[in-house]
């Protein structure tokens, strides 16, 4: 079974620039998550999708972050404009259904550096 695919692996941008990350979940997984992991901390949930609908985006900084999951499969996370404090690893995860930790699988992440 293929895992959760993310791209790019690394990205360096200047502050105030825009950036987008892409995630392809495990086939058939209805639920998709985006997490932000700042150095030295655990992953923090940004947004959760159930199929192509948003279930929880309470911790997404909506003035600069946006995410979509068109057709309930792939997802993109965008930051516009980026700030220095957005430097982090952005992890995508998927699970068969909401609340299922068996099968809750993470991708390898995108490491973003904002300079």
Partner 1 sequence: GQQLNQSPQSMFIQEGEDVSMNCTSSSIFNTWLWYKQEPGEGPVLLIALYKAGELTSNGRLTAQFGITRKDSFLNISASIPSDVGIYFCAYMNYGGSQGNLIFGKGTKLSVKP
Question: Does residue number 75 form part of the binding site for partner 1 (CB under 8 A)?
Answer: no
Taking the complex as a whole, the smallest distance from the CB of residue 81 to partner 1 amounts, in Å, to 27
20-53 burial code (b ≥16 CB/10 A, e <16): ebebbbbeebbbbbbbbbeeeeebebbbbbeeee
Is residue 67 within 8 Å of residue 75, measured between CB atoms? Answer: yes
Question: Does residue number 25 form part of the binding site for partner 1 (CB under 8 A)?
Answer: no
Question: Does residue number 51 form part of the binding site for partner 1 (CB under 8 A)?
Answer: no
Query: Given the rule CB under 8 A, which residues bind partner 1?
Result: 4, 31, 33, 40-45, 48, 55-56, 91, 93, 98-102, 104-109
């Amino acid at each position: 079974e293929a895992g959760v695919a993310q791209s790019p692996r690394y990205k360096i941008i200047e502050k105030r620039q825009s950036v987008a990350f892409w995630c392809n979940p495990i086939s058939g997984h209805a639920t998709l998550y985006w997490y932000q992991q700042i150095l030295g901390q655990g992953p923090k949930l940004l947004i959760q999708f159930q199929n192509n609908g948003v279930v929880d985006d309470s911790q997404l900084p909506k003035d600069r972050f946006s995410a979509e999951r068109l057709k309930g499969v792939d997802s993109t996370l965008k930051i516009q404009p980026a700030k220095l404090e957005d430097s982090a690893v952005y992890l995508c995860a998927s699970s068969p259904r909401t609340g299922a930790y068996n099968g809750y699988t993470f991708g390898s992440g995108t490491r973003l550096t904002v300079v």
